[in-house]
Amino acid sequence: MDFKTTLQIYGINTSNFTLIRDLIHSRSGIYFEDGKLDILAEKVSQRLVENNLTNFLDYYYKLKYDNDYQEWLELIKLITINETYFYREFDHIKLLVEHIIPEYFKSNNFIPLKIWSAACSTREEPLSIAMAINEKNLFEKYPIKIFASDINSDNVEHAKKGVFRERSFRVLPLDLKEKYFTPVDKNYKISNDLLERVEFFIKNLFEFDKYDFLYMSDVIFIRNALIYFSDQSIIKLINYLYDKMPENSYLIIGVSESLLKYKTKFELIEINNTFVYKKVRRQ
């Protein structure tokens, strides 16, 4: 739902919304561009309703001056909710198939490229990666391995069945939906060929010893998950990744996330308007 509709339903006054956007930005580093304000407003308005408020300004004051840590947590949870769907933030995946994979195989013909989708929730991400690779016929050309993990065993079980609800298809082009999925009741089941392309693990990102080979992947996706960790944990994680990942490997985080404040050794690079972190050989 767009926010104007939501606000009309809730009877919420729309003015002063950007104050909340800026407050969220200054406190959490998460920034919603003007084009995405609708999405943010829609989510924030849910918190207004829960708090029995009818204008954003009151909610802004509540966040800024009430020292209500619980409310802040609820809001952050809501705006970062791991709503995964196929082809979410597709630019990264596009970059993978159009740039990173061809680049890798310029110098490696036999060593498989390893891709790890960490904190993948219900698996739409690794399966989108597999789908995009298959669409470019790259599985036939090159040895590519896709690993996926999540801490939540429910998610892993859910994913192993390969059955998805309609909302997972939020932006997936219809022809791909028809090509890779078959309707089962009100849901859709993914083709086994694609499901078998991805190897699933139950894993906590911070249990470094468990399945440690994952940290040595050539491309690691950790998108929209960092928000759940403290600054200290993030620093620990990215430093560990930097040590373990091979040279010229890529770390890909969500479009609204940034590692800049952690002074990482990864280099932020831009390819075709998409930003990724690369472990570059030091001179």
Cα 211 to Cα 149: distance, rounded to the nearest angstrom: 10
Min dist CB 225 to other proteins, Å, is 23
Minimum separation from the CB atom of position 272 to other proteins (A)? 14
Q: Which residues are at the interface with other proteins (CB under 8 A)?
A: 1-2, 5-6, 8-10, 46, 49-50, 52, 58, 61-62, 64-66, 165-167, 169-175, 177, 186
Nearer to other proteins by C-beta: 14 or 108? 14
- Closer residue to other proteins in complex, CB, 112/173: 173
Closest CB to other proteins among residues 171, 184: 171
Minimal CA–CA distance to 163: which of 205, 192, 120, 140?
192
Compute the distance between CA of residue 231 and CA of residue 254 in angstroms, rounded to an integer: 16
Cβ distance to other proteins smaller for residue 42 or 211: 42
Provide, rounded to whole angstroms, the least separation between the CB of residue 186 and other proteins: 6
Of residues 73, 227, 217, the one with CA closest to residue 148: 217
Round to whole Å and give the CA distance between 277 and 270. Answer: 9
Token pair belonging to 109: 């013909």
Q: How far is the CB of 211 from other proteins (least distance, A)?
A: 33
With respect to other proteins, which residue has the nearer C-beta, 6 or 274? 6
Instruction: List Cβ neighbours of 173 (8 Å cut-off, separation of 6 or more).
Output: 87
Distances in Å between the alpha carbon of 151 and those of 84, 137, 204, 237? 15, 31, 5, 15
CB of 8 to other proteins, least distance (A): 7
